Structure 1
Amino acid sequence: MFRKILVANRGEIAVRILRACRELGIATVAIYSEADRDAPHVHMADEAYCVGPAPAGQSYLNVAAIIEVAGKAGVDAVHPGYGFLAENAHFAAVCRSWGLTFIGPGPEAIEQMGLKSLARRRMAAAGVPVIPGTEEAVRDEAEALRAAAEIGYPVLVKAAAGGGGRGIRVAHDEAELREAPAAAGREAAAAFGRRGPDLGKVLGEARPA
């Protein structure tokens, strides 16, 4: 059982983790940006520390600041929730190097499966059927248009890293595709600190398992 956990997230995600820790009798540490100092998760935690200004890239994605708080608070584990640093192999590796338990997959697993294009290649190599899509993140508009022509519209433009529904756009034609990568890239950069979208075929009537 962990003694004290730092929750490296905010909002409803952090609240759920904090509530579970309270039920288990585990001490908690919250982090927050300057804009979130009065957020519910800040008041729920036993301790709370500011890790930077409002932009996520300077606070919730600030690995150095979060690790500094972990050391200052004396935690023995870090729970990333989902989104932000949850699929960041570097962050998981840094936690390990500082003797902190990263509550989630190890950095090796994240490295292999966190990038959707790499995960798709590994599944295809293992004989698992995969949805048609790009093998690598597209680098520019021309490459995206060529890939979409091969895949067939509509296509899903999705952040190469991260998850949780962030950085996703559906393009039904070339006009929409010209706008989608930039919009998806901006959202992905804000949420995960990475740009570069993948393209995949949209499946109608699909339901997540």
Structure 2
Amino acid sequence: MRLVIARCQVDYAGRLTAHLPLATRLILVKADGSVSIHADDRAYKPLNWMSPPCALVEDEDVWTVQSAKTDDRLVIEIEEILHDSTHDLGVDPGLEKDGVEAHLQRLLADNVETFGAGWRLVRREYPTPIGPVDLLCRDASGQTVAIEIKRRGEIDGVEQLTRYLELLNRDPHLSPVRGVFAAQEIKPQARTLATDRDITCITVDYDALRGLDDPSTRLF
């Protein structure tokens, strides 16, 4: 990971346009190719970013990050670099699921036809260089499907699945791989982003999977 603290202005052009005026910001360039711009607030959320696959070209004081799939680009004009360092973080073991998420993953692995008739499980925790895919499956037509499971589905989960799909689709033995984002609750923003990236969203009933809820007994 490369960490750059610089006085810069940033422009995003493409399907959306956005401008960040000159200020001191943190620029993160990650090993997966993504570039994100951060201020000293807003917790983890960047001010602007470009997700992989993309390419960064540095031309003196102008950095251009070009998407490999669209015409979108991020242009960073640097007035002054205050810090520039690179660090090898190694392979991350991935986020450990909490009790509910881990149990939900096991239940869906045992009941993979929840996603559709004729589906079969290839492997739980399918390994990739950036962490394990929760479930790797084949649908009724034989296509490979990567499934990311969350208790609450938010934008970061969609971004995580997007990175997995990019890597998996490079493998000719698996490609084409499509994605399914499964959660007990999916936020509207996450659903919108998933739809834009051709990722299917599925809301799962945790109690029904555990056999604690019989839909036939409900009044509503």
Establish whether TM, by shorter chain, passes 0.5: no
Q: Is the helix fraction higher in 1 or 2?
A: 1
The structure, 1 or 2, with the larger RCO (C-alpha pairs under 8 Å, 6+ apart) is 1
Q: So what's the TM-score if we normalise by structure 2?
A: 0.27
Q: Is the strand fraction higher in 1 or 2?
A: 2
